[in-house]
Chain A
Amino acid sequence: MQKKLYHMLSSIVFVFVLVFLIDQVTDILSSKESIEKYHDMKGENFDVLFFGNSHALLGVYPMELWNDFGIISYNCAGSANMLPTSYWMLKNVLNEQNPKLVVIDVFMVGGDEKRREGRNGVYQQHISFDWQPLTKEKLGMMNFLMDSVDERIEFIAPITLYHDRWKELVKNDFDCSYNAGKGAQFLFTRAAPEKIESALEHEMIMEDSLGKEYLCKMIEECQKKGIEVLLIHIPYPDYAWHQQWGNGVRLIAQQYHVNYVNMFYEDTGVDFFTDVGDANSHLNASGGRKVTKFLGKYIQDHYAIPDRRGEARYDGWYDDYLQYTSVKWETLRNIKADMLSYLSLLYDENLDVCLFFNGESEMIYWGTPPKLVENIATLQRFQKASDERIDYLMVSDRGWGNVTEYLDTENVRQQNTSFGTIQYTKRDENGIRGLYINGGETNYLLNNNGTLAEIAVVAFDKKTGELVDSVRFNRNVSVAAQ
């Protein structure tokens, strides 16, 4: 009898140890995308949560909402998340969170798919749900969104999905870095949309759809818990059919007495020429920054969401913001090879920018760069420089809130700015101009070979005044980095 008991106990302990080890190994082998995105949600309550798919994921930046409005928020949107997926995401998240406001982007409200089809769709669900513990809601998600037993098992025992990653383990699998943007992602590229379609505001599709059904469920779920709901429609350049579905959401909002901001018809400042990042019509970091700013103002005006800046328990957010901007600037520095993307992203309001155009370069009057300059600031004199083909320097000092423009004919000049003193010299006998900062010896307008750059950019962090990047662009040599 004693032996039997010993065998039984040792078997139970063996199974426990085995399960523990499998769990540890699974943590290492799992793809880190889910934990990277949602890590910062754990252990903190957020006032505002954003749901939606890639449009919201790439278009709403909680760290900027914090910086500009003191809003504590998290972006729970996931790439390719259909509204049924968002519904299950909401149900899972509300287990832990008690937000004051839930913001839902209604893109794909006309969709009848419960999730994107195929293995890619399953994988997207893993990003959304892997970080969450196995709860009743997660089981509900599995049963509804997954078609086969094998797919469901992958959520209960993720090692069945990830075990083969032993071949590709890297440092990040053991020492994981986390999303510095509170769930948001950026598109640091700029792409001219192939076509721009715009449905008129009164053009609506009112048919029933699975997306509509689950949007209503999401609203009901929130209202049941006393959470306010804001429906938004983040702009995109094409898919008029989807826009018409989005227009129809106005009636749902009326039915449930919630606000609906259809940003297609609001003055958000989004310009599809500068603010789209890929062929799939996603907003880039410039577009996202504009949408976020608009949204922050709207939330501030319409909801009692507290400004948490100054509250001691949110002191960590200041450090988070610094980390967030450093990641952002690092990414900006890495896209120098793509001049048009780089120029479009100088819109970022946290950057002070010196932008020089060489009057002898055809880039001052031809092609896309002149159009992108308008995205940085409201300019008065660039057109004149472009027409007369003369050197142009713009100093966008957002720290002090002013923009200064210099044309070739003017005598220059020294200017005090929030990021230091700049000195802009006339062309010498070799045709060389100089741009010096704080009395330094570096001429930021020169290529490595000593010639004058066709376009030169010097960018500073508005908050810290530190140099973020300096770069020169030339038509034949795309980048002449410092």
Chain B
Amino acid sequence: MILFFFKYIDFAIDSINAVLRFYYFDEISCRFDLILPVGISFYIFQALGYTIDVYRGDVEAEKNFFRYALFVSFFPQLVAGPIERSKNLLSQLKEVHTFSFERMKDGLLLMLWGYFMKLVLADRIAIFVDTVYGDLDTYTGYYVLIASILFAFQIYCDFAGYSTIAMGVSEILGFRLMENFNAPYFAQSAAEFWRRWHISLSTWFKDYLYIPLGGSRKGKLRKYLNLFLVFLVSGLWHGASWNYIIWGGINGMFQIMGDLGKNFRDKMQGLLALERNTFSHKILKMVLTFLLIDFAWIFFRAPDGSDVLKVLFSMIKLDNPWILFDGSLYQAGLTQKDYQLMWIGIGILILADLFKYKGICIRHRILRQEWWFRWLAGLGSVLLLLILGIYGYGYDARNFIYFQF
């Protein structure tokens, strides 16, 4: 109720008014325009998960009010997740924590990586994306294509950056939060993407909505309906607006079509004599998955339906290939050096995710090196962050995108 009141009441009134308007009835005149409490979607879900766990008997009810309050308001992940489970975090709150130098180093490196994603990449990419999406009449064709591809990285770096900082801070304090992102753009299907993206939310919906609805136990049709419903609700969780609901619906459709098309894909594979375990086949699937997910992101980013249409038409026409060569791209908010740095940063991000995908932890590799190398890595990273980050008064350090949810 609290979440509905703060986040959805105006959206609900607007939607009802749209229906009333359609049938020539008088509209509801009240509107609340409430300021959304920071992180409300995150801690409400965390508290809700705890309540359900207690109801199910999965965890014991916490008798200590202050410990429960700390669980709900644990500051590192309060405003943008990960949405922690009572089983994981509440139990850690009961443990005795002592300072560990090793954990501090580990946590600091995690934080540095998070800040790199947020300050160097997400906020730099945002300048280009905001410029293009803010004026879709001027910026068309390849501008829109590049901005749409970049938005996939922006939202990843923004959200994963914040989660990583939260994990790093918690690590220093002696708490281990759940992994929230696991190289999502290396997924080879939409279903796999959602197992790698915002894991704490996906598993929350799975545990507390999808399975209680029957999951896949009540036949195919019911399974697809459940899936679709879960993704619609997931979209609504992201924001009180129809574009988020459509975004959720599209992702739900990807999952259903992926399941429905399995037999067709098997047949095609045989027909075309494709080998599924080859590197090229995996790459192809990754690229196709990225394009599908990125297509859905358009509905997430574009503020309304007309903008979505403009973006799609622009991307179909692609009538200005020369901008890729004549320097016009450097007129869309980012200077040439910023633009180049952004792509170098994205390259580093992909490389880091590749290591993660392969199960290699770069952080731990660094910490195993000799002290001078560790110092060099630590000092160099802090300096580069300070120099290359987008922050400071002269620049609008953009709010974390997920703060609004």
Judge: A and B partners, yes or no. yes
Q: Are A159 and B386 in contact (CB under 8 A)?
A: yes
Q: List residues 371-385 of chain B with CB under 8 A from any CB of chain A.
A: 371, 375, 378-379, 382-383
Residues of A within 8 A of B386 (CB): 22, 25, 159, 163
Interface stretch of the complex, out of B260-268, B281-289, B388-396: B388-396
Q: Are B392 and A161 in contact (CB under 8 A)?
A: yes
Given contacts A151-B393, A161-B393, contact A25 B378 (CB under 8 A): no
* Closest Cβ neighbor of A123 among chain B residues: B394
* Closest Cβ neighbor of A26 among chain B residues: B386
Q: Are A163 and B387 in contact (CB under 8 A)?
A: yes
Q: Are A154 and B101 in contact (CB under 8 A)?
A: no
Given contacts A14-B375, A21-B379, contact A119 B394 (CB under 8 A): yes
* Closest Cβ neighbor of B385 among chain A residues: A163
Is A166 close to B, CB under 8 A?
Answer: yes
Q: Are A21 and B393 in contact (CB under 8 A)?
A: no
Residues of B within 8 A of A167 (CB): 335, 337-338
Residues of A within 8 A of B390 (CB): 164
A154 to B391, CA, bound (A): 12
Q: Are A18 and B389 in contact (CB under 8 A)?
A: no
Q: Are B387 and A160 in contact (CB under 8 A)?
A: no
Is A387 close to B, CB under 8 A?
Answer: no
Residues of A within 8 A of B387 (CB): 25, 29, 159, 163, 166
Distance to closest chain A CB from B376 (angstroms): 11
Is A297 close to B, CB under 8 A?
Answer: no
A10 to B101, CA, bound (A): 11
A213 to B338, CA, bound (A): 47
Q: Are A21 and B394 in contact (CB under 8 A)?
A: no
Is A12 close to B, CB under 8 A?
Answer: no
| Interface residues of B, dominant DSSP | helix
Residues of B within 8 A of A119 (CB): 393-394
A451 to B386, CA, bound (A): 61
Residues of A within 8 A of B393 (CB): 119, 122, 150-151, 154, 160-161
A160 to B385, CA, bound (A): 11
* Closest Cβ neighbor of A29 among chain B residues: B387
Residues of B within 8 A of A150 (CB): 392-393
* Closest Cβ neighbor of B378 among chain A residues: A14
A166 to B383, CA, bound (A): 12
Distance to closest chain B CB from A5 (angstroms): 11
Q: Are A166 and B388 in contact (CB under 8 A)?
A: yes
Q: Are A18 and B379 in contact (CB under 8 A)?
A: yes
Distance to closest chain A CB from B158 (angstroms): 20
Contact count A vs B, C-beta below 8 Å: 50
Given contacts A7-B101, A22-B386, A29-B387, contact A163 B392 (CB under 8 A): yes
Is A17 close to B, CB under 8 A?
Answer: yes
Q: Are B392 and A22 in contact (CB under 8 A)?
A: no
Distance to closest chain B CB from A376 (angstroms): 45
Chain B, residues 75-118, CB within 8 Å of chain A (1/0): the string is 00000000000000000000000000100000000000000000
Given contacts A14-B378, A167-B338, contact A21 B392 (CB under 8 A): no
Residues of A within 8 A of B335 (CB): 167
Distance to closest chain B CB from A145 (angstroms): 15
A164 to B338, CA, bound (A): 10
Q: List residues 136-152 of chain A with CB under 8 A from any CB of chain B.
A: 150-151
Q: Are B392 and A18 in contact (CB under 8 A)?
A: no
Residues of B within 8 A of A159 (CB): 386-387
| Interface residues of A, dominant DSSP | helix
Q: Are B382 and A164 in contact (CB under 8 A)?
A: no
A22 to B389, CA, bound (A): 14
Residues of A within 8 A of B379 (CB): 14, 17-18, 21
Distance to closest chain B CB from A76 (angstroms): 26
A163 to B387, CA, bound (A): 5
Distance to closest chain A CB from B308 (angstroms): 33
Q: Are B395 and A164 in contact (CB under 8 A)?
A: yes
Chain A, residues 153-181, CB within 8 Å of chain B (1/0): the string is 01000011101101100000000000000
* Closest Cβ neighbor of B335 among chain A residues: A167
Residues of A within 8 A of B383 (CB): 18, 21-22, 25
Distance to closest chain B CB from A381 (angstroms): 58
* Closest Cβ neighbor of A160 among chain B residues: B392
A10 to B104, CA, bound (A): 13
Chain B, residues 269-306, CB within 8 Å of chain A (1/0): the string is 00000000000000000000000000000000000000
A217 to B375, CA, bound (A): 50
Residues of B within 8 A of A21 (CB): 379, 383
Residues of B within 8 A of A154 (CB): 392-393
Chain A, residues 51-84, CB within 8 Å of chain B (1/0): the string is 0000000000000000000000000000000000
* Closest Cβ neighbor of A165 among chain B residues: B387
User: Which of B371, B379, B382, B394 counts the most A-chain CB atoms under 10 A from its CB?
Assistant: B394
Distance to closest chain A CB from B135 (angstroms): 23
A369 to B390, CA, bound (A): 52
A160 to B393, CA, bound (A): 8
Residues of A within 8 A of B382 (CB): 18, 22
Q: Are A163 and B337 in contact (CB under 8 A)?
A: no
Distance to closest chain B CB from A100 (angstroms): 40
Q: Are A161 and B394 in contact (CB under 8 A)?
A: yes
A159 to B387, CA, bound (A): 8
A469 to B337, CA, bound (A): 40
A309 to B346, CA, bound (A): 63
A17 to B379, CA, bound (A): 8
* Closest Cβ neighbor of A8 among chain B residues: B101
A29 to B387, CA, bound (A): 9
* Closest Cβ neighbor of B393 among chain A residues: A150
Residues of B within 8 A of A17 (CB): 375, 379
Q: List residues 250-296 of chain A with CB under 8 A from any CB of chain B.
A: none
* Closest Cβ neighbor of A4 among chain B residues: B101
A246 to B16, CA, bound (A): 66
Residues of A within 8 A of B392 (CB): 150, 154, 160-161, 163-164
Q: List residues 328-354 of chain B with CB under 8 A from any CB of chain A.
A: 335, 337-338
A160 to B392, CA, bound (A): 5
A163 to B392, CA, bound (A): 9
Residues of A within 8 A of B389 (CB): 163
Residues of A within 8 A of B375 (CB): 14, 17
User: Which of A22, A25, A160 sits near B391, CB closer than 8 Å?
Assistant: A160
Distance to closest chain A CB from B234 (angstroms): 36
30 residue pairs bridging A and B, Cβ less than 8 Å apart = A10-B371, A14-B375, A14-B379, A17-B375, A17-B379, A18-B382, A22-B382, A22-B383, A25-B383, A25-B386, A25-B387, A119-B393, A122-B393, A150-B392, A150-B393, A151-B393, A154-B392, A154-B393, A160-B392, A161-B392, A163-B387, A163-B389, A163-B391, A163-B392, A164-B392, A164-B394, A164-B395, A166-B387, A167-B335, A167-B338
Other CB < 8 Å A-B pairs besides A18-B383, A163-B392, 14 of them?
A14-B375, A18-B379, A18-B382, A21-B383, A29-B387, A122-B393, A150-B393, A159-B386, A160-B393, A161-B394, A163-B388, A164-B390, A164-B395, A167-B335
**Which residues of B are at the interface with A, using a C-beta cutoff of 8 A?**
101, 335, 337-338, 371, 375, 378-379, 382-383, 386-395
**Which residues of A are at the interface with B, using a C-beta cutoff of 8 A?**
7, 10, 14, 17-18, 21-22, 25, 29, 119, 122, 150-151, 154, 159-161, 163-164, 166-167
When A and B form their complex, which 10 residue pairs have the shortest distance between CB atoms, in order from nearest? A7-B101, A167-B337, A160-B392, A163-B387, A150-B393, A166-B387, A159-B386, A163-B386, A18-B379, A161-B392
